Amino acid sequence: MPNHVRAARSLGLLVLVLACVPGVGGDVVPPSTGPPPPAGAAGPPSPVFGPPMSAMEVLAGPARPSDLDVMTFNLRYAGSAGANTWAQRRPVMRTLLTLEQPDLIGTQEGLPDQVRDVAADLGEGYAHFGLGREGGDNGEHMAIFYNTARLRVLRSGDFWLSATPQVPGSISWGSAHVRMVTWALFTDRSSGHRFFAVNTHLDNVSENARRHAAELIMTTLAGFEKLPVVLTGDFNSPGDGTSQVHRLLTGRAGLRDTWTTAPIRGPAWATIHNYQALVPDGERDDWILTTPDVTASAILMNTYRDHGQYPSDHLPVQVRVRLP
């Protein structure tokens, strides 16, 4: 959807329902199921219900034509047993993504059918790419989704976070699982600017593997053409100075953490909640990093849920940026 149409649609929604939305980014409130009052009785006032709204637009207003909305989202791999199955979570995720309509989404953990489900739910205005971490279409994906009206892929690729990065399914450094990166060089159709999008998921067990992975990402980025970079991912490390990975990527690699650079910021939570109560100011494992030439204007952790059902065990993180 073109930015001017999105802006007009969003502004209309904002004016229409700002005063009556029961909780932006929170639970969708169901209508009353009680009996109607007797004829002629005044009864209690009827609640006013409006559609849920984009959390980013509530925080920062409609996007300008030069703004690029980016999301990182660990989807939680699809499961069919127990609580929080993919069948239960998919409709909530569909609503969240439809509301937010990011221009660029770096996802993690999506299984092949799950990636196809997300693609179907996003609709014809989006495309995606990325191999599975076992090679081909096998295993979890670091799929990147993008708005085709806004962005065009010039080239893309994948590499594995191992001593043999071009070998699909390769594993090194004591990593508990195969880990990888999916990346692309994009052109922004609205401005003609080019930039790299890079998406990853670091190991959840081995700090040594995470450190080596961060060094490989840093080395790979250094070999790219000197253009802006947006790095999305689940880093399985706290987004602060206690994390060796964060220090490496925001120090030696020269990237900037948009959570700390954006002047407008939503409430802070632990980004991994495991379907439990949110933890204020908890560990932030999901980050969006950029080169210093990219300007972040607003960022948030999206807490959207429907009748208590979250779309994933992670909160998606969204940032609004502007390319140089």
Whether 2 maps to a domain, the answer reads no
> How much is the average pLDDT of 181-189?
98
pLDDT at 20: 30
> How much is the average pLDDT of 7-11?
41
Give the whole-angstrom CA distance, residue 85 versus residue 171: 29
Give the whole-angstrom CA distance, residue 220 versus residue 202: 15
> How much is the average pLDDT of 210-223?
98
**257 within 8 A of 287, measured Cβ to Cβ:** yes
The CA radius of gyration of the chain, in Å to the nearest whole number, is 20
* Per-residue pLDDT tens over the stretch 40-91: 344 434 333 455 789 999 999 999 999 999 999 999 999 999 999 999 999 9
Is residue 11's pLDDT more than 50? no
pLDDT at 52: 77
Rounded to a whole number, what is the distance in angstroms from the first to the last CA of the chain? 23
- Burial class of residue 153 in the structure, from the number of CB atoms within 10 Å of its CB (0-12 exposed, 13-18 middle, 19+ buried): middle
pLDDT at 56: 98
Whether 133 maps to a domain, the answer reads yes
Q: Which positions ≥6 away from 3 have C-beta within 8 Å? A: 63, 64, 65, 67, 150, 190
Q: How confident is the model at residue 235 (pLDDT cuts 50, 70, 90)?
A: very high
Whether 291 maps to a domain, the answer reads yes
Reported in sequence order, the residue ranges of the chain that DSSP labels E, i.e. its strands, are 67-74, 104-108, 126-129, 144-147, 151-160, 180-188, 194-201, 229-234, 256-257, 264-265, 286-290, 295-301, 317-322
Whether 226 maps to a domain, the answer reads yes
Q: Which residue has the tokens 């080169």?
A: 291
Whether 235 maps to a domain, the answer reads yes
Q: Which residue has the tokens 């939570």?
A: 269
Residue 68: strand, helix, or coil = strand
Is residue 214's pLDDT more than 90? yes
* Per-residue pLDDT tens over the stretch 133-154: 999 999 999 999 999 999 999 9
Q: What is the CATH number of the domain that holds 178?
A: 3.60.10.10
Whether 108 maps to a domain, the answer reads yes
The pTM (predicted TM-score) of the whole model is: 0.86
pLDDT at 26: 52
pLDDT at 51: 56
What is the separation of C-alpha 5 from the centre of its chain, rounded to a whole number of angstroms?
22
- Taking alpha carbons only, the member of 173, 148, 144, 171 closest to residue 158 is 144
| Number of folded domains that form the chain | 1
Is residue 35's pLDDT more than 60? no
Whether 33 maps to a domain, the answer reads no
Percent of the chain topping pLDDT 90 = 82
DSSP structural state of residue 37 = P
Domain that holds residue 311: 69-322
Whether 30 maps to a domain, the answer reads no
pLDDT at 61: 96
Instruction: Annotate 300-315 with three-state secondary structure.
Output: EECCCEECCECCCCEC
Q: Which residue has the higher pLDDT, 303 or 11?
A: 303
Amino acid at 302: N
Residue 233: strand, helix, or coil = strand
